[in-house]
Amino acid sequence: MRTLALRPLVAILVLAVGLAAGAASAQQEAKRAITQIVGDLYRFQNNFHSSVFLVTPEGVIATDPINVDAAAWRKAEIAERFGQPVKYLIYSHDHADHIAGGEVFADTATIVAHDNAKRTIIGEKRPTAVPQVTFSDRMTIELGGKQDVADNRRHLEDLHAAVLAGLREGKSVEDL
Q: At 74, which CATH number?
A: 3.60.15.10
Q: Is residue 15 domain-shared with residue 86, that is, in the same domain?
A: no
In sequence order, what are the beta bridge partners of 42? 36, 53
Residue 137 sits in the same domain as residue 170: yes
The answer to whether residues 10 and 42 belong to one domain is no
Question: Smallest Cα–Cα separation from 92: which of 77, 79, 82, 102?
Answer: 102
Range of the domain at 16: 1-30
Per-residue pLDDT of the chain (176 residues; tens, 9 = 90+): 455 555 554 445 444 455 555 554 445 688 999 999 989 999 999 998 888 999 999 999 999 888 999 999 999 999 999 999 999 999 887 777 788 889 999 999 999 988 888 888 898 898 888 989 988 877 788 888 877 666 655 444 445 555 555 555 544 443 44
- What pLDDT does residue 29 have? 84
The 10 Å Cβ neighbour count of residue 132 is 13
DSSP tag of 43: E
Report the domain count for the chain: 2
Q: Identify whether residues 2 and 57 lie together within a single domain.
A: no
Inter-residue contact 118 to 130 (CB < 8 Å) = yes
pLDDT of residue 14: 46
Examine the domain organization and report whether 69 and 92 are in the same domain: yes
Q: Do both 26 and 109 map to the same domain? A: no
Q: Quick one: 6 and 87 in the same domain?
A: no
The CA distance from 25 to 20, in Å, is 9
Residues 18 and 39 in one domain: no
Q: Where are the alpha helices (DSSP H) in the chain?
A: 2-28, 68-82, 96-99, 115-123, 159-168
Helix (H, G, I), strand (E, B) or coil at 98: helix
| 97 and 11 together in one domain | no
Helix or strand holding residue 85 (H, E)? none
- Which pLDDT does position 173 carry in this prediction? 43
What pLDDT sits at residue 15?
46
Write the DSSP symbol of residue 107.
T
